[in-house]
Homo-oligomer: A and B are copies of this chain.
Amino acid sequence: MLLLRRCHSLTRFGPLNTQRHQVTPAVASCAARLCSSSSSSSEDHRSHQRVHSLSWKHALAGLLAGTGAVLAYGLHHQHKAERADTGVQTLKKSSSLPIFSQEEVTKHRSLEDGIWVTYKGGVYDITEFVAMHPGGDKIMLAAGGALEPFWALYAVHNQEHVLEILSDYKVGELNLEDLKKQQAVKSSDPYSSDPERHPVLHINSLKPFNAEPPPEILSDSYITPSAFFFKRNHLPVPQVDPASYQLHVEGLPGGALTLSLEDLKTRFPKHTITATLQCAGNRRSEMNKVKLVKGLNWGIAAISNATWSGARLRDVLLAAGYQPDVAQWARHVQFEGLDTDVTGTTYGASVPLNKAVSEEGDVLLAYEMNGEDIPPDHGFPVRVVVPGTVGARNVKWLGKIIVSAEESSSHWQQNDYKGFSPGTDWDTVDFKSAPAIQELPIQSAITTPADSATIDRSDGTLTVKGYAWSGGGREVVRVDVSLDGGKTWQAAQLRSGEKGQAPEPSPPPGRAWAWKLWEITAPLPPDAQELEIVCKAVDNSYNMQPDTVSPIWNLRGVLSNAWHRVKVKIRKDEEEE
């Protein structure tokens, strides 16, 4: 009965498994491995399910990924995010419950023995909750220990309703001695040194920090000012001392190469490109309206455009011993960030070798953004900029480059940032069946007017603005705009520079890394009281955007690039007074 009530309350957070036997394969296999020390001979009754071959280290990285984890909570409670950061409110006290030692708690780290955790002196048996955790497997990391350090990392948990859920699972109290020991280990906030951010940003997650600017800012400026550039962090922002910064380049026949920031700036030509970066989850909120997905509820502004300067990755690889025959065995270039989770695992990703070494690939080890040092939120002192490629591969706070026959084994390369059929759900998904997202498909959106806005009839015309971009260096060649929901279309004016200034020079074929802003002023239909404005873009491979969201829906809510639709009301003349 208690379980049923809890399940009911959880349906607010998305489509979760509500029966224990539906525990996901990843949880099962992880649990099997986690419990192997205490019950190595017992065979989990779900072990017939596929067991991933990921190493322990990378499984942990996945558990801590912070991508899907916190986000289902966040879907409905973003507005509470900042307030929640002030800390815990109340927890039900149940003084009649038994007292446990830490040693006893630590024995409960598997689905067989039960999953116990502690929080502020309470002991909780969350075994039944594991399969329902909106963030998936990551919860297993806390098994047998304290929740506090994890909730410090994924601060979205610090909300009243999360505590309410937790309180239902309380089974006892931690003895006073062990509680004191826990408290002696100060659980400092790993985000305490995150930089200040501009208050205009719309925050989708505070810890890690994920935020987007108001859409109208995007179309007001061809180059997005760094303060307004969307932020997508997976972990706390690392503090890197530029004087002692080292970049390690590994995997090439000549042996490892280590470069200082000064080396990067002085030993290699400085190369500058203008490139748009877009999060794979941009416009995920539109997929959530079809059916809830796991992931940050991005609006249309998880995309921005900047100039980037730095050494070309190609030049650095050549300096490190790259020669064409390396391509006979190597296929990928892996990147590791200096941002780490509680286990010390870094953020990681990889790109195809041919993109990395091509003269036309324009991959940079960038130390400047918009003409200044890259700000902390964007990767100070060095980030990879892989133009035309999904944001997730543009690794920030770059610490290591590895030339390899294999893709990065990181969670984000292997088990995230991939697209699936709309018919695939979390019970049937096989992450090995889909390629890691690299180039992104054609995209566009209307930045103004905003959805649900009311428009003055005024001079009888309406101006619509937006952005359009495509991955892989494919240039946007046309944006069609409709004021009647897609029945009729007009081509918009495209712009590839600041308004009133000369456009940026036309890029060579296949190297159009930057977006185009677009604008159209059209007569308002005389009697219309409402309009459905739609935009769709075309790139120079004549790729078009799909018409609707539902057929491209996928369980991670990535690649949301259907026509963008905005409904506006038109104020009658008499209302204008």
Contacts and interface: CB of A to CB of B under 8 A. Distances in A.
A60 to B, nearest CB: 29
Interface stretch (A145-153, A378-386, A545-553): A545-553
A131 interface: no
Interface string A493-504: 000000000000
A509 interface: yes
B478 A434 contact: yes
A14 interface: no
Contacts of A435: 477, 540
Contacts of A471: 541
Copies in the complex: 2
A446 B442 CA distance: 25
A424 B488 CA distance: 10
Contacts of A489: 421-423, 551
A245 B490 CA distance: 49
Residue of A472, A488, A536, A541 most packed against chain B (CB within 10 A): A541
A510 interface: yes
B547 A478 contact: no
B541 A478 contact: no
A220 interface: no
Interface string A344-375: 00000000101100001000000000000000
Nearest to A540: B435
Given A489-B422, A491-B421, A551-B486, A544 B546 contact: yes
Nearest to A553: B489
A505 interface: no
A355 B540 CA distance: 14
B543 A442 contact: yes
Contacts of A552: 544
A423 B483 CA distance: 13
A419 interface: yes
A449 to B, nearest CB: 21
A268 interface: no
B423 A544 contact: no
Nearest to A551: B486
A428 to B, nearest CB: 10
A313 to B, nearest CB: 16
A64 interface: no
A75 interface: no
Contacts of A299: none
Given A488-B423, A551-B547, A439 B480 contact: no
Contact of A354 (B352, B510, B538): B510
Interface in A410-467: 419, 421-424, 434-435, 437-442
Interface of A: 331, 352, 354-355, 360, 419, 421-424, 434-435, 437-442, 471-472, 477-478, 480, 486, 488-491, 508-510, 536, 538, 540-548, 551-552, 559, 561
- Would you list the 5 A-B pairs with minimal beta carbon distance, nearest first? A547-B547, A439-B541, A352-B509, A441-B543, A421-B491
Given A354-B508, A419-B478, 7 more contacts: A423-B480, A423-B491, A438-B540, A439-B542, A441-B542, A489-B551, A544-B551
